Chains A and B, each alone.
Chain A
Amino acid sequence: MRLLAASSRPLVVGVVAWTVASALAPALVVVALGAVVGAVTAAAQHGLGSADGHRLLVALGLAALVYAFSLVLEPIGTALGTAARSRITGALQGRLLAAVATPVGTGHLEDPDVLDRLARAEGGLTGFFPGDAPVTWAGALATRLSGYLGCVVVAVANWWIGLGLLVMWVLVRRIVLAAVVRQATEHRGRTTAMRRAWYFAALGSKAAAAKEIRVFGLGPWVAGRFGDEFGAAIRSGAAGLRSLHRRAAGTFLVVLAGTTAALLVIGGDARGPAGTGLTGTGLVGTGQIGTGLGLAALATLLPMLAVTMSAGTVTFDDITLAWTLAGLPDVDGLEARLAPAPMTGARDATGLPRGAIRLEGVRFRYPGQESDVLAGVDLELRAGTSTAIVGVNGAGKTTLVGLLSRLRDPGGDGPADGDPILGGGRTPDGSRTPDGSRILGGGRILVDGTDARELDPASWQRQVAMVPQAPVHYPASAYDNVAFGAPEHLDDREGVLAAAERAGFAAVVATLPAGWDTMLARELPGGVDLSGGQWQRLALARALFATRHGAGVLVLDEPTAALDVRGEADFYDRFLGITEGLTTVVISHRFSTVRRADSICVLDGGVITERGTHDELVAAGGTYARMYALQAERFA
């Protein structure tokens, strides 16, 4: 309800009105029809043409109206449901997006707990979406209310039967519902298994792993893994089922005794049609025990007994509701988890660095891992120069640039006055330290002498233009894909074209069916996909567009891995032009690319072991010289 209220007030009013109307409708219909039946006696005696006959006809007309009203409530409910579902789904996803956008870093998106919550809140795992909750809930509530109302009507005629029924229904519903809902929602804690299951389903049905699945004949295996994981996630306890059946059997006897007793009392009080008591007008009567009930009262009370059942009913909707609501606490939970840490740094970083970026003793360890990836890195990146970082696989090169651009924070010693981020057991990138206090890293990064943690993180991140190993493929046009390097300047067409030209992407655009307007996603109408090398050129163009609009640091992570020979040669010919005036960090295993950098560092065992120009390092005869020789000798 709160969700709906946040997204649309008129819809809330509609749902409330509908709930009230739906609660009233069944009782009203029974009463109206009871009035009709009650009016029959007199009309039968005096004929339809008499005043009593007219009264019957009026009652009939009224009943028709009430009945018609009750019938259109269902389609109204459907309409409200459709509107609310769409509203809430959009609003909820918006909230989740805002929540995951809150942390400055990116570590939270690798945190299994965050991913579990995200998946639960979104609803896709189970196929029960929170968007359906309000109307399902309102419907279930209306059903129950109509049952309570039925009890009230019965109570008017005979207060203790009405009260007795109410108590009985509320009680048995409680008993059975608890067992049913527990049975159905038991696997709420098994979200990971669900996520695993859908991971395998996607693996088997998407293009990404298709080649290997065929070469290795993995189709049945993948399907089997899906089944195993899903089976583990939904397996319900036999004990729970037995408890449910026991409860059901017990309550059945209670209900049987209760309803039969009520029926006998009402039936026993009935007298002939001429008896006093509730009269033709229906609801308002003076029925007293022992004085007998009129036909109208019988015609109202007996069906009303069936209506009271709604107060105690347990249906498929209750289970659905339990499921759809199961994810909602996770929305709040996620927001609380990812709420901004008492954040450091408000200084604007625009235009930095002017002098240099210095890393001092930077250490880092991933949450839950036993050894440091970086064990005290000291490194200076002078503004306007290019630095290459080389090292074996897993040396921590990508982690290092992640720290540099503050996608992760080193944590640790912090500025002299102590860093508040260490207090809460949470690092600013949103990932939890396992024991709530353990320090994952240390050291500091200085930008022109200022600790990076004193800079506004978002502002500093914007100073860094990145070409990652796997560039993001936006479901958008080729133009937007480049222009997203600086989303405030989407209309700078000239800049986009210039960046594309410098990155060698302009030639790719010329081959696209709709040129710059081509959508780069095969799932979208008229969309195409690019090859790995083409995406890599696009990513470079995107980064260059960002540097055009202020980013002064360029990070290139394996920028030529997917390029062919010509593309690679072309890239290192352009390297100087591309990096001119920028503080560049390039990571590569290709020494043809690396050697162009003004300065080269070797990252080994979590520290920088060598540093110098290509010629200096080759002359020094260390690790770099050995690695370079290994690659170069094959071209001798």
Chain B
Amino acid sequence: MSSPRRPLLSPPRSSPRRARRLLNLLLLDGFRTAPLQMSVMTALLVLGGAAAVCYPLGFRVLVDGALAGNTGQTVTGALVVGGLLSLSWVLQAIGATEAMTLSDQVSVAHTGRLVRLISGVDGLEHLERPEYLTEVEQISTHRRQLASAPRLLMGNVASVARIVALLVLLASVSWWLLLVPLCAVPPLVADRWAKRITRRTEDDAAHDRRRAGMLFSLATSADAAGELRSYGLVGHLAAEHRRLSEAVDRRSAREAVAVLAVQGTGWLLYALGLMGAIALVVVQTTHGLLSYGALLMAVTLIRRARAQLATATTRSGQMLTTLTTADRLLWLEDHAAAESARRGTGPAPGHLRGGIRLRGVEFTYPGTEHPVLDGVDLLLPAGATVAIVGENGAGKSTLVKLLLGMYRPDAGSIDVDDEPLAGMDPAAWRERCTAAFQDFARLHEPVRTSVGVGDLPRMADEDAVTGALDRAGATTLVTRLPEGLDTLVGSAYTGGHGLSGGQWQKLALGRGLMRDDPLLVVLDEPTASLDAQAEHALFARYARAAQRGAARSGAVTVLVSHRFSTVRAADLIVVLEDGRVRERGSHEELLAAGGRYAELFALQAAGYR
């Protein structure tokens, strides 16, 4: 049975509420993040804009004064022009710095918000959906535009102010000149059109660009470097990168020409219109209707109107990108909100009495055909260590993700002491879980942090960290590091200390053993990279700790492993096959039964005979 992908949300594109949220995101966020910078920048923009527009007013006073031989008027005119020019000059310089600082601060706020949004969704599904990833990628690519939103928006306010000022001055010359802004229509239309061409090109080239980017990171990463050299692939990948870059180039060049044609036409039409306006004032002057000072002011204003309008069109183009990006961010927010609306609100139990029971649990990954779990009935008894074994693809890891609340069953239920897991707040439940995974994270931080984040409230508690390291068998490893607990691990940063795969895994284990009173402990192939001694010692120690946990709060340990040497000590062994429980029992029971477990055990044991 195919499980249709839940369609990703498509919220209404425009509504007053949405407009408010956009405004909130784009503008008010700026004020909240950096109130001072934002206010200063706004003031600078408005003031500077006004100064840049109004200085030709001084021309009128100056010229008419000079022509009439009126010294006072001439000086006034000169002071007006000089003052306004100097002001617009200095404000531009200061404003540039303010704007840069502001956009940096806003950018930090946005990215932080993005990270919180993505990591705040309970499930993992979104991280595997190309549509979702594309949205995230686009936000990331256009983060500067998004961060410049406050500047752009306030710039638009300033633009409006400038255009109003311009029109007032023009109207003082002739009412007909109020028609001048109409000339801006062709460039504006052309600009929208050009943006569409650009976006289409970007979409077409996205695939090549992404592959080129992936090849670039691959060829510059330490992890891949050995293989690339031993197979002589360095040159091959560089050539492929060049080929992709050139394909992107060709598209860009075509785009550039098309955009030029469209925008060029727009501006030519605009030039035609404005020259018409200039011709009008010239003719009026020849008929003696205007003074020479007014003529000079009008001509200067009209010529400069282009600067105002050009800024406005550029801004509207940038605004379009910004709005699209903001829209994507809101979409992510909606997605996160919709996800959390499905989440339960109940508290997690203080301790387990009966255990965790799965009834008829079915699960199919969205967009795939084949159910991974197909009717799992299982009790994980309180206080027990339960090993889950099975071949690749049997559904072991999926089962674990369901237990940790990262996915929900399509059918059936998971109950914690008869309380449905679905009714609990996943965050509250996870606070009572802990885990170590085979594909653990390599956290490039000082050891105390890299391990300590396994229990954030006790991260600063040195005893807690050293205790966890001890349980993970990593004490010797840490004492040998040059700065002990304070050693930065991972060699990518100055002062960082490189670790081997097994050493990283020990730290990940330590992280998983930080929480001191969990109800559910998941160990998913926790020893794949460990040496025999470390593996043995770990399980000997762990068995004692698990007993204590079991006695205290009825904690359940779920161990997923291909290593039967570690599995056999479990209280209960569950064999999964094709998404169902095929066998269950203790090691001895299952061996005696002579079923699948016995077969796989014999297969592995044969390697040691």
Contacts and interface: CB of A to CB of B under 8 A. Distances in A.
Interface stretch (A37-45, A277-285, A355-363): A37-45
A609 interface: no
Given A87-B249, A89-B245, A398-B500, A255 B97 contact: no
A524 B213 CA distance: 12
Given A199-B444, A211-B401, A244-B94, A264 B528 contact: no
A593 B562 CA distance: 14
Nearest to A569: B603
Contacts of A15: none
B529 A589 contact: yes
Contacts of B234: 97, 101
B547 to A, nearest CB: 19
Interface string A506-536: 0000000000000001111100000111100
A100 B86 contact: no
A45 B584 CA distance: 111
Nearest to B314: A74
B238 A101 contact: yes
B551 interface: no
Given A207-B127, A635-B565, A259 B86 contact: yes
Interface stretch (B7-15, B99-107, B349-357, B377-385): B99-107
B218 A219 contact: no
A215 B278 contact: no
Nearest to B219: A97
Given A71-B268, A90-B249, A127-B143, A112 B493 contact: yes
Interface string B70-104: 01001101110111011101101111110111001
B97 A319 contact: yes
Overall SS of chain A's interface = helix
Given A86-B248, A565-B600, A268 B74 contact: yes
Given A394-B503, A565-B564, A216 B275 contact: no
Interface centre among B56, B286, B401 (most CB of A within 10 A): B286
Contacts of B81: 259-260, 263, 302, 305
B478 to A, nearest CB: 12
A255 B528 contact: no
Interface string B445-466: 0000000011110000000000
A241 interface: yes
A418 interface: no
B112 A227 contact: yes
A542 B234 CA distance: 16
Nearest to B283: A48
Interface in A439-464: 458, 461-462, 464
Nearest to A396: B500
A309 B74 CA distance: 21
A248 B90 contact: yes
Interface string A259-281: 11111100110111100000000
B111 A230 contact: yes
A551 B229 CA distance: 13
A196 B341 CA distance: 34
A80 B256 contact: yes
A565 B404 contact: no
Overall SS of chain B's interface = helix
A63 B218 contact: no
A399 to B, nearest CB: 8
B66 interface: yes
Interface string B412-440: 00000000000000010011011101111
Contact of A212 (B82, B104, B228, B435): B435
A60 B100 contact: no
Contact of B498 (A110, A203, A531, A558): A110
B244 to A, nearest CB: 8
Given A93-B216, A248-B94, A468 B227 contact: yes
A86 B112 contact: no
**Chain A contact residues (Cβ within 8 angstroms of B): what range?**
35 or more
A2 interface: no
B101 A236 contact: yes
B124 interface: yes
Nearest to B565: A634
B100 to A, nearest CB: 5
Contacts of B85: 255, 259, 305-306, 309
Contacts of A313: 89, 92-93
A565 B562 contact: yes
A312 interface: yes
B562 A366 contact: no
Nearest to B98: A241
Contacts of A241: 97
Given A33-B278, A241-B97, A299-B296, A522 B259 contact: no
B59 A407 contact: no
A201 B441 contact: no
Interface centre among A82, A104, A213, A270 (most CB of B within 10 A): A82
Nearest to B491: A110
Interface stretch (A419-427, A484-492, A578-586): A484-492
B175 interface: no
Nearest to A181: B97
Interface stretch (A153-161, A469-477, A493-501): A469-477
B432 to A, nearest CB: 11
A98 interface: yes
Interface stretch (A324-332, A340-348, A378-386, A625-633): A625-633
Nearest to B271: A68
B62 interface: yes
B245 A314 contact: no
B292 A394 contact: no
A472 B224 contact: yes
Contacts of B581: none
A592 B608 contact: yes
Interface string B501-544: 11101101001000000000010000011111111100000000
Given A218-B119, A259-B81, A260-B79, A634 B219 contact: no
A303 B300 contact: yes
Contacts of B589: none
A67 B274 contact: yes
Given A40-B286, A255-B90, 9 more contacts: A44-B285, A56-B286, A97-B216, A115-B492, A176-B93, A201-B111, A368-B495, A469-B501, A569-B603
Which 5 A-B residue pairings sit nearest by Cβ, starting from the closest?
A592-B607, A90-B245, A393-B502, A260-B82, A219-B119
